[in-house]
Structure 1
Amino acid sequence: MAKDSERSVARILYIDQGKSNKEIAEKLGVQEKTVGNWVKKYGWKEERDARDNNVDARIENIKAVIDDIIADRTSARLKIKQVKIDLEHPRTPEDEAKTLRDELSTLKKEIVGYDDSISKWNKTLDNFNKENKVSLATYLHVMDELFKDMQAHNQDLYLKTLDFQEQHISKVSVQLG
């Protein structure tokens, strides 16, 4: 029984907290090999990787990239405004005006590049959302399997969750349907 509780704690440390096998073994007073066996036997590495790379996290990463590009674009727009002001009120020789016009041209090209990047990342985000949307049929299949396993494991718990199951499936059917 002690091994079951140690394994449960080890799972939390490994999956949720990202601890290494060695750190877990030291904390729980078990062999590192034992933790490694649990990781392999119960698929903890795959689960941790899947959780770390879940759809929501990947979408947030893409949005962060888009936000960074937008910030760079905004900065370039502000520089363009300043260069235009400097060109309208010449205080310097013609060679500096040429330098300002060159800078203006470069900044405009940068903005075109930013716009192109934003467009491509938005397209990636749209495609990602489409590709990673779970179909209602798949979701229902997974939930049916879960509820069957719950029924086989603990009939009382299964019966206590029947109302929840119905409400949850109805909610998801509306969302995904």
Structure 2
Amino acid sequence: MGHYQLFSEQKIPASVEEVWDFIASPQNLKEITPDHMGFDITSKHLPEKMHPGMIISYKVSPMLGIKMTWVTEITQVKEREFFVDEQRIGPYAMWHHQHHLLPIEGGVIMRDIVTYQPPFGPLGAVANAVFIRKQLATIFAYRFKAVEEKFGKFG
């Protein structure tokens, strides 16, 4: 069973504090997720900021509009530098998502590294080649635009 990685990087014309406050707030996840994903947070009483051990549950429709439960755990947080979320229940056999912020002149680089393994062994590898990789690229392209609308274009 193969695993895959997706890398995304975006320069943002804002301070580390501003970007961190936005991305470290679970309530903002829906704002940067395409509507067609049917993304809804189902956790009750979420704190304003992520912390290690925090569990967040969602409903998503990754394929054919079929609603699925997705549960992630925030496993690591280094304030204003990075956090990691890992799937506990959901559509992937494995999902590990690193979110990094790096200060640069004039703003911040937001870098994501997603390591994932589709379900269903060899069939998952085919599904990744046919649509999963493309779907993830579409989701991150949407997020890029949503973040640009929120903070502006860099340079």
Shorter-chain TM-score range? under 0.3
Larger radius of gyration: 1
More helix as a share of residues: 1
Higher strand share: 2
With the length of structure 1 as denominator, give the TM-score of the two structures. 0.23
TM-score calculated relative to the size of structure 2: 0.26
